Structure 1
Amino acid sequence: MTARHAGYIVTLAEDIREDDADHIMTALRMVSGVISVQPVTANLDMAIARQQVHGEVRGKVLQLLKELQ
């Protein structure tokens, strides 16, 4: 028995202005089987999470560089 997908989460590389997003949302709606496209508004929680991830990656890169020396 195989699992069934109910949806997908698509993450943009960077935040875009709402008025610039219309063409992206229209394209997603054109994908077969898509019945809804709802934007997620950038907020403080997302900014904090992004900074935490950047800090984690930065730490791993610095650790790798130390190991290579």
Structure 2
Amino acid sequence: MNGESTHPDAPPFRTLSSRYPIEDLEEALGEGISTGHPDMPEFVATPSQIDAIVSYIKSLNRR
């Protein structure tokens, strides 16, 4: 939970809220997010997967 990201262009999820409003993440995931680096594959998430992703990222901020 406190290590560095294995990819320099991919910040750890636990710091995401300091760089991006988590409240906006659900909409962005629903519309599709362009990958931030070439190692990240494109994916399409279902609404329930989006809810789970956002809940997980929010849970990291409480630790």
Fold match by TM threshold 0.5: no
Structure of higher RCO (CA pairs closer than 8 Å, 6+ residues apart) = 2
After TM superposition, the score normalised by the length of structure 2 is 0.30
Higher CA-based Rg:
1
